[in-house]
């Protein structure tokens, strides 16, 4: 079983989409193995998106990610990383496949409702960024 890290970003929480997003995960065979609501400060958001530190949108992205509460989840299932990425849709919602979370609900390339790990290494790092062993179901 593979695990991946998902975030319902501040725009998703503000739009009242927590239930809708989790329903999509669960109805496509992804199990919730951990879940909590958090509010990141600017430094915590910067740490999470450290790989994007050199990007032009880094400051704006980390402002956005620290602008309100997020829901962070660990999703578990066969091919969970790829399955989650498919359910999310492309980063740019205008290019996301119809029926994906981002195509249905995103409002800009930045405010795109969800985050999902993009590979096994990233998933391990990102899960460890938010969860300790006691918070993850066995």
Binding site for ligand GDP (CB under 6 A): 57, 60-61, 91, 109-110, 112, 115, 118
Listed residue (98, 42, 96, 95) closest to 68, CA to CA: 42
Least gap, CB of 81 to ligand GDP (angstroms): 11
Q: Could you tell me the maximum CA-CA distance found in the chain, to the nearest angstrom?
A: 40
Given the residues 3, 24, 85, 115, the one annotated as active site = 115
Q: Which of 26, 50 has the CB closer to ligand GDP?
A: 50
Q: How many residues does the chain have?
A: 138
Q: Which of 18, 90 has the CB closer to ligand GDP?
A: 90
Count Cβ atoms within 10 A of the Cβ of residue 58 and give its class: 0-12 exposed, 13-18 middle, 19 or more buried: middle
Least gap, CB of 111 to ligand GDP (angstroms): 7
Least gap, CB of 39 to ligand GDP (angstroms): 17
Q: What would the two tokens of residue 119 be?
A: 């590979």
Q: Which of 38, 51 has the CB closer to ligand GDP?
A: 51
- 52: annotated active-site residue: no
CA 111 to chain centre: 12
């Amino acid at each position: 079983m593979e695990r991946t890290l998902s975030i319902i970003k501040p725009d998703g929480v503000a739009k009242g989409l927590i239930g809708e997003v989790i329903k999509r995960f669960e109805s496509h065979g992804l199990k919730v193995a951990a879940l909590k609501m958090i509010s990141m400060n600017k430094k915590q958001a910067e740490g999470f998106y450290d790989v994007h530190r050199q990007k032009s949108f880094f400051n704006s992205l980390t402002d956005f990610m620290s602008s309100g509460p997020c829901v962070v989840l660990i999703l578990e299932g066969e091919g969970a990383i790829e399955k989650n990425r498919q359910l999310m849709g492309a980063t740019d919602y205008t290019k996301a496949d119809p029926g994906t979370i981002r195509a249905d609900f995103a409002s800009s390339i930045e405010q795109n409702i969800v985050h999902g790990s993009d590979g096994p290494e990233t998933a391990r790092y990102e899960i460890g960024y938010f969860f300790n062993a006691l918070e993850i179901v066995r």
